[in-house]
Amino acid sequence: MSTSSPVIDPILSAEAIAARKPGPFSLAGKSIVTPILLTLILLAIAIVTVMIGSKPFNQVIIDLFVRVILVVGLYVFIGNSGVMSFGQIGFTCLGAYVAAWLTINPMMKKMSLPGLPDFILKAKMEYWQAALLAALFAGVAALFFGRVLMRLSGIAASIATFAMLAMINTIYSNWDRVTGATSSVVGIPIVRSIWPYFTVAAIVIFIAWLHAISRAGLALRAARDEPTAAAASGIDIPKERLVAFVISGAIMGVGGALTAHSIGVVTPDNFYLSLTFVTLSMLVVGGMGSLTGSVLGVVILSALIQGLRFLEAGVPVGGSMLALPKGLQEIALGIIMIVILALRPSGLFGNRELTLNRNRSE
Amino acid sequence: MSYLSAEDVSVAFAGLKALSSVNLKITPGHISGLIGPNGAGKTTLVNVLTGFQAPTSGAVTLDGQPLTNLKPHQVRRRGIARTFQGGRLFRDLPVIDNLEVTGVGLGMSRRAAIAEAEAMLDWIGIAPLKNRIAGTLPYTDERRVAIGRALMGRPAYILLDEPAAGMSAPEASDLSDLVRRIAKSLGIGVLIIEHNVGLVLGLCDHIVVLDSGAVIEEGDPAAIRDSEKVRHAYMGTAADTVRANLEVMA
């Protein structure tokens, strides 16, 4: 037999392969039904909120949507790669400050952040323009950090991402003339309508789904489960991780911009250990390997947190107020997390996704 | 003529020589065997050939071009595939996705990769396993899925690391048929590492025997069967098994 031109086996002919192409939306158990259902759940929450018409409740749900954006951002990298990153909230910080720089009234900026370059000092953008640039800026920063970090694995990678978070926090806490250091940067236009937050959360869910069903998503999950075999299957693991890291960074950045517009004030410590802990808890409780888990983890834990806050503030019982001691919220949250993880180590949803068809999982 | 070769490859782990000046050549359409007692360096040699282990000295070349500095995924993209001892399937993924991953790793679209994966499962004869979760498969099927995964994108060479370990005689015979088809109808160059010496003698065109990291004998099955050195190498380790295997073949 000629060794340079192997015999082409008819079973593997181009025609046979072409005839087997599956439909575009039925790839590997990751059905388009999942992001649609998740979006509908958030839409229902938004409609109920508008119907209730309560301002404090409106703010609670805005916080919830922002958290959904952040936790889905975490899922894109951590869930698919299996690499625990403690640094993603650093990109949220970058995004929040971009929003502050670009949307605060130029007169105020001159006073509070005089070290900004002239073109930023003069800028006065709409919140959505600033949010897009925040995503871009955070994505570029993720590319910059990721090129180094993605070569690491396991605990070394996790520690390095934590170092990145600390580095960003330190820079932003000290660069007085550009970030206002640790003092609050005020004057960011507040967006009180719930719809921009809902819209971005829905878009982010679809982006995460598209990444998960893409070649990059499949390759990354394979590398997460069996890195040696993935490399032997032609997968460039650092590259696939970098792709997810950059998408995640951009999502975290837009989440940061919306955080800034939801409260109107930013300080570096808004985007540090406490937010990292809360968002990672939501991801882990929901199920790291599941988009459904990351969205519903936020909804479930946010409801719990609100319930506990309500009890901390005090409930009238008969003639007196019955209030839980302050700080119980964090303790109770910790206990709930431990219980959930003890009962379901891979989170409430594990690797499963919400679909109409039961037994769909990957 | 196309070939994959290890040239004077040596590997030392902290001063301990795992391989010393090993030469090996594989050509498309032919089945080569690599045998030797436990700890002879067989898997280390496969690791060197596939980019998982850098040689301390020597080179791996594909058609004369050096591969030595390439990473495992780059070696795979040059058409050199391998399987692992114990399968190393993506245990949480269905069988079809296990194959699809390699298609994707080689640059196919997901849909093209799925289509080729289905054709490959058919070709191997395990199409009914398509939607089974890989972690639930029996041992024998796991091996065949691992071979299917390695065959995606039609590599020029495939290195099989103990594909018959733990198989019964009829299962090993089925495996031999599959390996023959891979070489003869797909024209792929095969290197098979096996403890089942009988299987190797019955299957291979050319056999290399490693002992303590060095090639002690090579040649066609008849030459290996008659070699005193080979018998000696196996003495005290699995001598009886080997003799029994050799007698079965004789």
ipTM of the complex: 0.90
Polymer length of chain B:
250
Give CA separation, B15 vs A264, B11, B55, B56, in Å: 63, 9, 13, 11
Looking at per-residue confidence, does B80 or A3 come out higher? B80
Overall average pLDDT of the B150-173 stretch: 94
The CA distances from residue A131 to A53, A227, A255, A270, in Å, are 26, 36, 8, 18
A215 interaction partners in chain B (CB closer than 8 Å): 104, 108-110, 113
Contact B90 A229 (CB under 8 A): yes
User: If you average pLDDT over residues A236-263, what whole number do you get?
Assistant: 97
C-alpha A288, offset from chain centre: 12
CB–CB of B114 and A3 under 8 A? no
What is the distance in angstroms between the Cα of B91 and the nearest Cα belonging to chain A? 8
Across the range A201-215, mean pLDDT stands at: 96
Kindly report the number of other CB atoms within 10 A of residue A318's CB atom.
Answer: 6
Average pLDDT over residues A260-272: 96
pLDDT at position B245: 61
Percent of chain A with pLDDT over 70: 90
User: Other CB atoms closer than 10 Å to residue B148's CB: what's the count?
Assistant: 25
The one-letter amino acid at B9 = V
In this predicted structure, the answer to whether residue B235 has a pLDDT above a threshold of 90 is no
Q: What is the pLDDT of residue B174?
A: 94
Confidence of residue A350 (pLDDT cuts 50, 70, 90): confident
- Closest Cα to residue B123, out of A37, A285, A20? A20
Interatomic CA distance for residues A290 and A134, integer angstroms: 26
The DSSP H or E segment spanning B192 is strand B189-193
B52 touches chain A (CB under 8 A): yes
B130 reaches A (C-beta below 8 A):
no
Nearest-CA neighbor of A98 among A274, A263, A261, A262? A261
pLDDT digits (tens, 9 = 90+) for B33-64: 999 988 899 999 999 999 999 999 999 999 99
Contacts 24+ apart (CB under 8 A), A16-23: A16/B119, A17/B112, A17/B115, A17/B116, A17/B119, A18/B115, A20/B114, A20/B115, A20/B118, A20/B119, A21/B111, A21/B112, A21/B114, A21/B115, A22/B111, A22/B114, A22/B115
Of A28, A226, A236, the CB nearest to B97: A28
| Spatial contact of B32 and B204, defined as CB atoms under 8 Å apart | yes
Give the model confidence (pLDDT) of A26-55 as tens digits. 344 568 899 999 999 999 999 999 999 999
Instruction: Fold for B4-53+67-89+149-234, please state it.
Output: Rossmann fold (3.40.50)
Looking at residue A269, the DSSP 8-state letter turns out to be G
Residue A222, token pair as written in the block = 């394979």
Contact A123, A105 (CB under 8 A): no
* Amino acid of residue B130: K
Report pLDDT digits (tens) over A176-199. 999 999 999 999 999 999 999 999
B111 touching A (Cβ < 8 Å): yes
